């Protein structure tokens, strides 16, 4: 491995950014791309759900594997699989091939969860929520740059049949670049000795069950999953929603995605870092979920651009506060040898949520109307808020108990 020119945290954040630019290049276009070939609402929902469906199975395995074999090799394999899947998406027209490409991306899609574990490895517990918030900020920046680049690529003077394909091929190039960065420059975050690796348990349903039935971890995983379920109502339908309600074309919808990404980056990169020391993760989880629920209601009733933008800001604020706070609480409560496993279970639960609501929301949009997915998402966010009141109370109590021996000493 070539000597890295940047600190490991900067490199892993750059890798996540490059990967997310590729992902967000194509996310706003995939429903339009599928519509171009005459696929039904159900087929579009299944195409979106194929990624989380396969990540659901692969997530815990990749997390456990990274605990034992190291973060770096798992990140490298994940990036390679993503690059190949985008290349296939850019060249294929048959629905079955497109579906297989999305499944390949999901099966190798451990990059984000392993990046979270990597950051937790190299960060002291007191700073984890802040640095994990940086991943969220990078996520927001990716949601700005990817859709902006997508909108610009759609304006290139290429043949009509290639207009929606070019962004997929560019996304494949970005994922290849991320793979090169991991392979050449990213050092392993786990120690060379045997302690964390030998202590990490192999993947088993018992291990997954232990995490899900833990009185605090399980509740936090449930809150994180419900938060993702609510946001997936927007994530999987926003482009089609904008087309049906406002008449916007694919490149205009891509710029709307960029606006949401910019707002999310501002929250997760700046605002949350200022709020965490003052209010703590438990309060920010509750405030975030309240904002998310109100924002989804606002999206459902918006019929003009100003209310649409206001609702988008509330949604970005909600997810930007809730998600890194949930992950920060989990990382502070989880032993170092279990970080990859817990994040893997969380990622799988969240991808299950995406899988469910990508299909459900598209069916609601096609069968009921453009507002229906957002009413459903608002109800789920409200349920998440109810569960979170119990989860954060338990988490705060556990954190206090963890710190008592240190104080006593």
> What is the domain partition of the chain in residue ranges?
8-186+206-408
State which of 58-67, 116-125, 225-234, 235-244 shows the largest mean pLDDT: 225-234
Quick one: which of 99, 112, 94 has its CA closest to 23? 112
Alpha helices (H) along 127-271: 128-153, 166-185, 195-199, 205-213, 217-235, 238-246, 250-266
Helix crossing, 339-367 with 41-69: angle to 10°?
Answer: 180
Which stretch of 33-47, 200-214, 238-252 has the lowest confidence by average pLDDT? 200-214
Confidence bin at 251 (pLDDT 50/70/90): confident
If you average pLDDT over each of 228-237, 326-335, 348-357, which comes out highest?
228-237
From 387, 150, 364, 133, select the one nearest 251 (Cα to Cα).
150
CA-based nearest residue to 143, from 313, 316, 249, 260: 260
Q: Once rounded to an integer, what is the mean pLDDT over residues 354-365?
A: 89
Return the pLDDT at 109.
66
- Looking at residue 408, its pLDDT comes to 44
Q: pLDDT confidence of 401, banded at 50, 70, 90? A: confident
Q: If you ran DSSP here, which 8-state letter would residue 162 be given?
A: G
Tell me the C-alpha distance between 106 and 274, whole Å: 34
- The Cα angle at residue 137 between residues 135 and 140, in degrees rounded to 5: 115
CATH code matching the domain that covers 8-186+206-408, chosen among 1.20.1250.20, 3.40.50.1980, 3.40.50.720, 3.90.1150.10: 1.20.1250.20
User: Over pLDDT 70: what percentage of the chain?
Assistant: 88
Backbone region of residue 38 per phi and psi (left: phi > 0; alpha: psi in -120 to 50; beta: other values): left
110 — pLDDT class (breaks 50, 70, 90): low
pTM of the prediction? 0.71
Residue 398 burial (CB < 10 Å; 0-12/13-18/19+)?
A: middle
């Amino acid at each position: 491995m070539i000597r890295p020119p940047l600190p490991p945290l900067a490199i892993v954040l750059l890798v996540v950014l490059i990967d997310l630019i590729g992902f967000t290049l194509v996310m706003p276009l995939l429903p339009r791309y599928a519509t171009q070939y005459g696929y039904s609402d159900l087929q579009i929902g299944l195409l979106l759900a194929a990624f989380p469906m396969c990540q659901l199975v692969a997530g815990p395995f990749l997390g456990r594997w990274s605990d034992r074999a190291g973060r770096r090799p798992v990140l490298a394999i994940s990036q390679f699989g993503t690059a190949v899947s985008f290349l296939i998406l850019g060249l294929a027209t048959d629905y079955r091939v497109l579906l297989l490409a999305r499944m390949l991306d999901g099966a190798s899609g451990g990059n984000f969860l392993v990046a979270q574990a990597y950051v937790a490895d190299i960060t002291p517990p007191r700073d984890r929520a802040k640095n994990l918030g940086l991943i969220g900020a990078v996520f927001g920046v990716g949601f700005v740059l990817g859709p902006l680049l997508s909108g610009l690529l759609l304006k290139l003077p290429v043949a009509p049949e290639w207009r929606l394909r070019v962004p997929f091929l560019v996304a494949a190039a970005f994922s290849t670049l991320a793979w090169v960065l991991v392979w050449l420059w990213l050092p392993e975050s786990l120690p060379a000795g045997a302690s964390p690796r030998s202590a990490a348990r192999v993947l088993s349903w018992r291990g997954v069950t232990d995490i899900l039935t833990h009185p605090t971890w399980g509740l936090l995983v449930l809150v994180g999953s419900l938060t993702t379920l609510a946001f997936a109502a927007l994530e999987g339908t926003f482009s089609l929603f904008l087309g049906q309600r406002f008449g916007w074309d694919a490149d205009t919808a891509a710029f709307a995605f960029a606006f949401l990404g910019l707002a999310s980056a501002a929250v997760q990169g700046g605002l949350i870092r200022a709020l965490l020391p003052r209010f703590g993760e438990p309060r920010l989880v509750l405030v975030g979920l309240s904002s998310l629920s109100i924002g989804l209601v606002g999206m459902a009733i918006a019929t003009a651009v100003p209310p649409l933008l206001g609702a988008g800001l509330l949604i970005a604020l909600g997810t930007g506060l809730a998600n890194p706070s949930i992950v920060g609480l989990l990382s502070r409560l989880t032993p170092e040898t279990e970080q990859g496993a817990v994040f893997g279970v969380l990622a799988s639960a969240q991808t299950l949520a995406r899988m469910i609501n990508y299909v459900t929301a598209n069916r609601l949009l096609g069968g009921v109307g453009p507002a229906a997915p957002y009413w459903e998402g608002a109800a789920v966010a409200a349920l998440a808020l109810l569960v979170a009141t119990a989860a954060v109370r338990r988490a705060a109590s556990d954190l206090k108990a963890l710190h008592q021996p240190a104080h006593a000493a």
